[in-house]
Amino acid sequence: MKYAKRNDGRKFNETRPITAEVGVIKNAVGSAKFQIGKTIAIAAVYGPNNVFPKFLQKPDRAILRCNYNMMAFSGSGDRVRPGTNRRGKEIGMVIEKAFENILDLSEFPKAAIDVFIELPQTDAGTRCAGICAASLALADAGFEMKDLVCAISCGLVGDQVVADLDYSEEAFEGGSVDIPIAMTPRNGEITLLQLDGEISKEDLKKAVEFGKEACLKIYEIQKQVLKAKYEETKQ
């Protein structure tokens, strides 16, 4: 099915407006809020903490535990049933994997670093917003990491490759393919790439290109907000 013009009038490679802020939760070691369009993600980092049960401890490094949670009335559809669910668990796991090789976990042997990602309002692209927020929160907490991580979801709506799908595009009646991409901006290493649906090789390549472009844009924003926290008080 043809998708000639985007529902909200954006260009095909254009993301929704992005705002971010760090240090939003005072009790956390590090925290951040990341908003892209109507999707809002808040990440809070705690720890390093003790690990129980003890068999989960790693003697040479810390473990990373990510908790992804969509709030009950965050979406435009039905109420999301609160509490642990399989989708949330899986997304938490892929977010852990997206950070595992970026964070220096050997600094805190036997401990755990806990990341809580809450989504008070969602309009597709939640795991990517969550990764962007978590990346800011981890940097804000002062953990050693090789790079920040930026994420964006790209994909195919009808016959058109687009960047940053919103919910109306994800639910497009002509079919859509959603590809969340996370990467490190300095050397373009991809730390998360998922694909749901059917897509040709050329379109996939194009989607990843769109994703890289958008990630670099997000990186500039991330860099700016992290520095802004300290430059404000500098005077």
Partner 1 sequence: MSKLVVVEKQIVVPGEILAEGMDFLPGKGTFREGENIIASRLGLVNASGRVVQIVPLAGKYLPKRDDTIIGVVKDMSYSSWFVDVGYPYEGSLSMKDATAEFIERGASLSDYFAVGDVIITKVANVTKEGNIDLTMKAPGLRKLNGGRVIEITPFKIPRVVGKQGSMIGLIKDKTGCTLFAGQNGRIWIRGSSPEAEKLATDAIYLIAEKAHTSGLTERVGEFLEKNKLENQK
Residues that bind partner 1 (CB under 8 A): 29-30, 47-50, 59-60, 104, 107-112, 139-148, 184-187, 222-223, 226-227, 230-231, 233-235
DSSP state, residue 141: T
Q: Least distance to partner 1 from the beta carbon of 140, Å?
A: 7
Cβ neighbours of residue 165 closer than 8 Å, sequence gap 6 or more: 124, 125, 153, 154, 155, 157, 176, 178
Please check whether residue 181 is in contact with residue 192, taking contact to mean a CB–CB distance below 8 angstroms.
yes
Dist CA 45 CA 65 (whole Å)? 10
- Output 89 or 146, the one with its CB closest to partner 1: 146
Shortest distance in whole angstroms from residue 189 CB to partner 1? 11
Based on CB atoms, which residue is closest to partner 1, 60 or 173?
A: 60
> Cβ of 122: how many Cβ atoms within 10 Å?
20
Q: Give the nearest distance from C-beta 87 to partner 1 in angstroms.
A: 30
User: Six-digit token pair at 214?
Assistant: 């958008």
**DSSP letters spanning 52-71:** SSGGG-BTTB-EEEEEEEE-
Between 9 and 59, whose beta carbon lies closer to partner 1? 59
Nearer to partner 1, 110 or 217 (CB): 110
Q: Which is nearer to partner 1, 87 or 186 (CB)?
A: 186
Q: Which of 98, 47, 38, 48 is nearest to 68 (CA)?
A: 98
Q: How far is the CB of 45 from partner 1 (least distance, A)?
A: 10
Nearest approach, Cβ of 147 to partner 1 (angstroms)?
Answer: 3
